[in-house]
């Protein structure tokens, strides 16, 4: 199996450069677009990318603005729609470069919110989505902040305290902590736009979500409550939907010791829709 690997820059609508990594197969059965979570970057999905390639899928992954190797102010956005529009920009490029192939999107955590919102704002562009620990509702720990005016302190720093909760594998935790591309802090503007205003926007439009979807969550997730995935599953309009809660797994189910089982579940779901 020969994989053509390229790293390119894609310019978003407001001239922010997005870093995109492409792992393309000449005879791919489908293309997967990976959307990463808060404070991390697409480089952390090398295992997932390699597995998708082994399954016969090409992979495009990109760094969200303000993250990793993409442009934009670190840990900052002006409006949650920027994240959605950036993801759609990548999807449009994928469709242009891979005519005739089904395109799926895998979104993790904040990336799950971005993916789901993308399917609502730009319906009919994808063959399906896989959502992992997706932040598709306002988290209970943040509920009291909804409606708070952060306009006077949009760049106030919020320390990234996620490290020890991402995974049960201590090596993954160590690598997360030492990764220079992971953000050590983000801003109140990113938090309020994506996890509050954006999440509320999506919650109000779940009935407009009709994309085929596989919704996955770790049962012991301490970062995004599994109830978010259950709530989303129960309220969306999709006729083709499936929910799996993995008992005992933490937030990053694709990095947990059981990640091979999770990838197999994803592959089987995708294979049935190609």
Candidates 36, 67, 108, 251; catalytic one: 251
Look over the chain and give the mean of its residue pLDDT values, rounded to a whole number: 97
Q: Tell whether the model's pLDDT for residue 13 goes beyond 90.
A: no
Closest to 8 in 3D by CA, of 108, 90, 101, 110: 90
**Domain segments of the chain: what residues?**
3-271
Average pLDDT over residues 10-31: 96
What's the pLDDT at 134? 98
Fold of the 3-271 domain: Rossmann fold (3.40.50)
Distance CA 101, CA 69 (A): 28
Is 67 annotated as catalytic?
no
Which position among 63, 85, 86, 221 bears the catalytic label? 221
In Å, what is the CA distance from 70 to each residue of 9, 67, 80? 8, 6, 16
Mean of pLDDT values over 13-22: 96
Q: What pLDDT, in 10s, does the model give residues 203-242?
A: 999 999 999 999 999 999 999 999 999 999 999 999 999 9
Which residue of the set 70, 109, 192, 238 is catalytic?
Answer: 109
Q: Over 90: is that where the pLDDT of 1 sits?
A: no
């Amino acid at each position: 199996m020969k994989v053509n690997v390229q790293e390119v820059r894609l310019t978003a609508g407001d001239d922010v450069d997005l870093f995109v990594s492409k792992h393309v197969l000449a005879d791919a059965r489908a293309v997967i677009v990976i959307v990463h979570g808060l404070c991390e970057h697409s480089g952390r999905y090398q295992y997932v990318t390699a597995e998708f390639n082994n399954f016969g899928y090409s992979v495009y992954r990109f760094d969200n603005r303000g993250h990793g190797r993409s442009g934009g102010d670190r840990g900052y956005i002006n409006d949650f729609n920027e994240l959605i529009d950036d993801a759609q920009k990548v999807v449009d490029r994928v469709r242009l470069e891979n005519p005739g192939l089904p395109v799926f999107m895998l979104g993790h955590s904040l990336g799950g919110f971005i993916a789901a919102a993308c399917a609502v704002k730009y319906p009919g562009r994808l063959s399906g989505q896989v959502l992992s620990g997706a932040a598709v509702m306002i988290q209970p720990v943040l509920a009291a902040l909804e409606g708070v005016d952060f306009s006077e302190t949009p760049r106030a720093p919020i320390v990234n305290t996620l490290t020890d909760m991402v995974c049960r594998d201590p090596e993954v935790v160590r690598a997360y902590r030492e990764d220079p591309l992971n953000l050590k802090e983000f801003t109140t503007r990113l938090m309020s736009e994506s996890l509050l205003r954006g999440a509320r926007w999506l919650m109000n439009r779940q009935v407009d979500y009709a994309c085929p979807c596989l919704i996955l969550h770790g049962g012991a997730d301490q970062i995004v409550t599994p109830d978010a995935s259950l709530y989303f599953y129960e309220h969306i309009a999709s006729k083709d939907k499936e929910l799996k809660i993995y008992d005992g797994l933490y937030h990053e189910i694709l990095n947990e010791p059981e990640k091979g089982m999770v990838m197999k579940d994803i592959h089987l779901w995708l294979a049935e829709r190609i």
